[in-house]
Amino acid sequence: MSAVTVENISKNYRIYTGPSARLKELIFPGRNFHQDFWALRDVSFSVKKGSTFAIIGENGSGKSTLLQIIAGTLTATKGKVELNGRLAALLELGAGFNPEFTGRENTFLNGAILGLTRKDILQRLPEIERFAEIGEFLDQPVKTYSSGMYVRLAFAISINVDPEILLVDESLSVGDIYFQQRCMHKIRQMKQEGKTILFVSHDLAAVKNLCESAVWLDNGVIREQGSAAEVAARYLAAITLKKDPYRRIKSSNVSKAFANIEKEQPVDLTVREIPNVDERWGNGNAKILGIKLLDEEGRTPQNLYHGDSVTTRISVQFKQAVMKPIIGIIVRNRLGEEISGVNTSLQNVELPPSTADQIYTVDFHLCLPVLQPGNYYLTPAIADGTYLDFVVCDLVENALSMTLQQRETVYGYMKMTCQIEIKQVRLEPTKSVDS
């Protein structure tokens, strides 16, 4: 059963050069003095009841417009939206608030709009106050609020009106890191309760972690839809390729990591096997030939424990010259969450510029941290540029897996290094009954 059904939604805005053009169109019916801008074109999808659905895309792709149409705050030019359940929406900053009203008054106003009685809102008010944590400002006009206070109150109201469908836009990014964590925890809780959530975000890690399905909007049209992990990977690949892969970067000195490499090596260390390929993308200027895991004796490890020293060997072949090669690894858990990552740039190892058909083989010597026992997946990548500005040449999702055995109990994802010191144990004197 679908909680949200979007059928052929299109949204057109008329763009006028000025007031005179608008006036001319009124005076001369049948003649156009405007340009049509289609923010959305024939967008269709459905969201299953109890699922979490992501809408991703670049700025200006139509994400917020679509969310407003679903929420009912904006009318579509064509198409229709069907909702099956009570909806609460956290849209752009300040949406749904009367700036002259206090936070408390806006709470009652928003609740009434959603069909709650005054008694219902009064019952929920203590929890709204607790979650928002804006104290005495609840009785101050919201026009005096900071952006963070706006978001705190808006989110607190949205989650406490018992919605069956929750729409969440990018506004959560305004709050501080602790509030964002609380919001994400609450979203996960609502997900477990079977609520339907539509989530708009540029945070692809959050999308892959929270959402089962996703749709990718590109200039108002659906470019991809399907599982959140697949759509997010293709979107990331596409926006990476938009950057100019050809940069004028001055060649620098070869790093010390290459100082001892002889021109002719007697042994070919090239790895030419990739055990698994879930997804692969990049501009093709370089290609990952292979990846493998080695123990201290140069063999494939059978059992791995925390503290073990392992080597991840990656071989890359360049299809054309790359001025600033960066080779790295991303480590993910079984849920696809990024646990850690390392690359040559982060380690201050500067790879020399490559030529076409050249092959680099790089060893990453790692000491395994104390992680929760289970399966982990290595994603190798080769890029061109710097750590902050790069273009992916080739990335192979989950190319290699490794299984960590349990040596000691780990709570959560990893074990923190900790020493406990008891400073004092004090027994308070018993008070006399007569005193």
Do residue 220 and residue 296 come from a single domain? Answer: no
φ/ψ of residue 145, rounded to 5: -80, 150
Residues 275, 227 share a domain = no
Rounded Cα distance, 351 and 349, in Å: 6
DSSP, residue by residue, 16-73: ESSHHHHHHHHHSTT---EEEEEEEEEEEEEEETT-EEEEE--TTSSHHHHHHHHHTS
CATH number, domain with residue 315:
2.70.50.60
Q: Which of 27, 58, 434, 413 is nearest to 235 (CA)?
A: 58
d(CA 259, CA 253): 10
In this structure, the answer to whether residues 335 and 294 fall within a common structural domain is yes
14 and 73 assigned to the same domain: yes
The verdict on 221 and 292 lying in the same domain is: no
- Among positive and negative, which fits the CA dihedral 292, 296, 301, 306? negative
Domain that holds residue 390: 267-404
Does the reported pTM lie above 0.75? no
**Residue 249: inside a domain, yes or no?**
no
Report angle CA 159, 164, 117 to the nearest 5 degrees. 70
Question: Do residues 306 and 372 make contact, with C-beta atoms less than 8 angstroms apart?
Answer: no
Task: Report if residue 424 sits inside a domain.
Answer: no
Shared domain for 191 and 289, answered yes or no, is no
224 and 308, same domain (yes or no): no
In a domain, 80, yes or no: yes
The DSSP bridge partners found for residue 55 are 200, 215
Residue 418 belongs to a domain: no
- Examine the domain organization and report whether 317 and 232 are in the same domain: no
Look at residue 430 and tell me if it is in a domain: no
Q: Which residues contact 417 (CB under 8 A, 6 or more apart)?
A: none
Residues 6 or more apart from 271 whose CB is under 8 A from it?
289, 290, 291, 292, 313, 314, 315, 361
130 in the same domain as 22:
yes
User: In whole angstroms, what is the distance from residue 196 CA to residue 210 CA?
Assistant: 12
The candidate with the shortest Cα–Cα distance to 406, out of 427, 380, 433, 375, is 375
Return the ∠ at Cα 212 (arms to 207 and 216), rounded to 5°.
60
279 and 333 part of one domain: yes
Q: Is 251 within 8 Å of 324 (Cβ atoms)?
A: no
Residue 409 lies in a domain: no
For β-strands 34-48 and 2-16, DSSP reports them as: antiparallel
CATH number at 43 reads: 3.40.50.300
Considering the domain architecture, whether residues 18 and 146 belong to the same structural domain is answered as: yes
Q: What angle do CA 216, 218, 219 make, to 5 degrees?
A: 150
The region that residue 162 occupies, defined by phi over 0 for left and psi between -120 and 50 for alpha, beta otherwise, is left
241, two tokens: 């390729």
Same-domain status, 118 and 205: yes
Residue 255 lies in a domain: no
Q: Is residue 421 part of a domain?
A: no
Q: Provide the domain count of the chain.
A: 2
pLDDT (tens place) for every residue of the chain, 435 residues total: 789 999 999 999 888 888 888 888 888 887 888 888 899 999 999 999 999 999 999 888 999 899 889 988 889 999 999 999 888 877 765 556 888 899 899 889 888 877 788 888 898 899 888 888 888 888 999 888 887 788 888 888 888 877 889 888 766 655 566 677 677 778 888 888 889 999 888 777 778 878 899 999 999 999 999 998 888 888 877 776 655 443 333 334 444 455 555 444 557 889 999 999 988 999 999 999 999 999 888 888 878 888 888 999 999 999 999 999 999 999 988 777 788 899 998 888 889 999 999 999 999 998 888 888 888 899 999 999 887 778 999 999 999 998 888 777 777 777 777 778 887 787 777 666 555
